Amino acid sequence: MAKATTRFVCQQCAHVEPKWAGRCPSCGEWNSLVEEAIRETKTLTAQIRAGGGSFSHMGAAQSRPRPITEIEISERQRQSTHIAEFDRVLGGGIVPGSLTLIGGEPGVGKSTLMSQLCGNLAAQYGTTLYISGEESVEQIKLRAVRLSALHSDLLLASETDIGVIASFVEQLKPKYLVIDSIQTMISPDVDSAPGTVSQVRAATSALAALAKGKRIPIFLVGHVTKEGAIAGPRVLEHMVDTVLYFEGDAHLTYRILRAVKNRFGSTDELGIFEMRSEGLVGVENPSAAFLAERPIGSPGSTVTATMEGSRALLVEVQALVAQSYLNSPRRVTNGVNRDRVALVLAVLEKRLGLTLANMDVFVSVAGGVRVEEPSADLAIALAVAGSFLDRPVGGNHVFLGEIGLSGEVRSCTQIEKRLREAAGLGFGGAILPQKNIGRESQGIGLELFGVETVRQAVERALLAPQANPAVKPAADV
């Protein structure tokens, strides 16, 4: 029986089938199986490994099992990118031999960030190679001129063949390599079209061998699918050391860089940039930037402090409650988890008697930031209640606390950092969980009000219950 020379690979999950099917049996996606040829020649990855003498020797030596007590840990000397926000997300700088993937929507600023990065690295450390499969070298230079990223050690090439790029690295011996983008790269080992799972996997595998063998940090730029994940998601993300997502609305000035995978540092850190004519500029005081346009004394506007890694950020939470004329009132959220908002609305209706079932509710975090942690629950609840009652919430206070299903306000972590950030921006007080009132929260210069329930927070921030007929007395709940 003749050996099969083709196979069918799912472009969503990389599942392999010997024959075509309309639906992938692994991920269930329709029309995702693409025919690819099977080649039995020596792969480019194997050639790179064989050619990088020290890398081949290292692999053979480390393959033998050894006692853990005999293994020596080598210190990885990080190198700064001279972009403070970028270093923060990487965990302190670039690790030699690391493979970093940067994804984001078209137009968000990935190529701009990479051009600035290459200009800094070339000026500080030497030869930096920028490979583009989408733009000509003239286009890249025009952008570099605008960004003031010109340097004689910054080398440009427009190429898509991984084999040719490997030869460039062998000849030029660059200190850093940037590939823009990985979906345009072609590996000679695979006969499928560029951008397919097999091509992306083969190209990334070859580049990973190049990074580890030559100890060259490599940055890959990746496209994002309509679902918001990097194209070829799990296949690509599992092969690299660090995965960064560059987020932001093209119509807004702020961009956010966050890590979703980092073998050399934390994934909790956040980098915040402002898009200007001269390029991306790190925001030194993001809390002040996010609150710059906050309407003081407006109903439905509150401020909370959220932790992003080691940094506390003050963000504005806005809510609008309006009469609905639909059978199913709308619940629209932006920057917050919709399920968390639904939970808060249910607590407000059940525990405080606010009639929200026939209301459209819109909740948004201003500035394009996404708040994931539950400590913003109290700020959301007070913003919704303030908009429903058409009364402003204390404009000089911040609100912290997680809300439970019984209406209790639960404590939040790292309270001292949150309160110090609020005090530094001129806030005068904070409404927070009673359990957070203690030694860590004292002496910061804020007037603190501890609450145990949402009702107490609403009464403190808005009105006494007897003066507000929309809030039922405690005995009626």
pLDDT confidence of 74, banded at 50, 70, 90?
low
> Within a domain: residue 73?
no
Region for residue 15 given its phi and psi (left: phi exceeds 0; alpha: psi -120 to 50; beta: otherwise): beta
CA distance 63 to 59: 6
Q: Under 8 Å CB-to-CB from 135, ≥6 apart: which residues?
A: 111, 158, 180
Mean pLDDT, rounded, for 22-43:
76
For residue 47, is it within any domain?
no
Q: Which domain holds residue 30?
A: 6-37
* Residue 59 confidence (pLDDT) above 60: no
Query: Binding site annotation covers 105?
Result: yes
List C-alpha distances in Å: 60 to 53, 138, 344: 11, 43, 57
Residues 162, 307, single domain; the answer is no
Q: What is the pLDDT of residue 265?
A: 87
Same-domain pairing of 127 and 269? yes
277 is in an annotated binding site: no
- Per-residue pLDDT of 403-415, as tens digits, reads 999 999 999 999 9
**Token pair 């920057």: residue:** 335
Q: What are phi and psi of 16, to 5 degrees?
A: -110, 130
> In this model, does residue 166 exceed pLDDT 60?
yes
The tens digit of pLDDT for each residue in 428-461 reads 999 999 999 987 777 788 999 999 999 999 999 9
97 among the known binding-site residues? no
Return the pLDDT at 139.
Answer: 94
Mean pLDDT of the chain: 85
State how many domains the chain has: 3
112 plus 242 within the same structural domain: yes
- What are the tokens at 10? 């799912």
Q: What is the CATH number of the domain that holds 300?
A: 3.30.230.10
Q: Assess whether pLDDT exceeds 60 at residue 2.
A: no
Q: Where is the domain boundary, 226, 249, 283? A: 283
Among 249, 283, 317, give the residue marking a domain's end. 283
- 365 and 250 within one domain: no
pLDDT at residue 174, rounded to an integer: 96
405 & 435 share domain: yes
The reply to whether 221 sits in an annotated binding site is no
- For residues 103 and 33, membership in a common domain is answered with no
Residue 50 lies in a domain: no
Please give the residue that has the higher pLDDT: either 390 or 13: 390
- Section 458-470 average pLDDT: 61
Q: What is the pLDDT of residue 50?
A: 62
406 and 267 assigned to the same domain: no
Of 392, 462, 430, 457, nearest to 312 (Cα)? 430
Q: Is the dihedral of CA 359, 365, 367, 372 positive or negative?
A: negative
pLDDT at 320 over 70: yes
Mean pLDDT of 120-142: 94
Q: Do 21 and 121 fall into the same domain?
A: no
Same domain, 294 and 274: no
* Residue 108 is assigned to a ligand binding site: yes
Q: Please tell me the least confidently modeled range out of 93-97, 292-296, 421-425.
A: 292-296
> What would the mean pLDDT of 371-394 be, rounded to a whole number?
93
Q: Is 106 known to sit in a ligand binding site?
A: yes
- Structure-model confidence comparison of residues 337 and 369, the more confident one: 337
378 within some domain: yes
Could you tell me if residue 224 is inside a domain? Answer: yes
57 has a pLDDT exceeding 50: no
Q: Do both 193 and 307 map to the same domain? A: no
In this structure, the number of other CB atoms found within 10 A of the CB of residue 423 comes to 16
More confident: 236 or 363: 363
- Residue 450 sits in the same domain as residue 321: yes
Query: 48 in a domain, yes or no?
Result: no
72 domain residue, yes or no:
no
Whether 88 maps to a domain, the answer reads yes
pLDDT tens digits, residue range 263-281?
Answer: 988 888 889 999 888 899 9
CATH of the domain at 178: 3.40.50.300
Rounded Cα–Cα distance for residues 257 and 111 (Å): 14
* Shared domain check, 307 and 197: no
Q: Which of 238, 256, 283 is a domain's end point? A: 283
Q: Is 111 annotated as a binding residue?
A: yes
When comparing pLDDT for 9 and 474, which is higher? 9
Residue for token pair 């309160």: 419
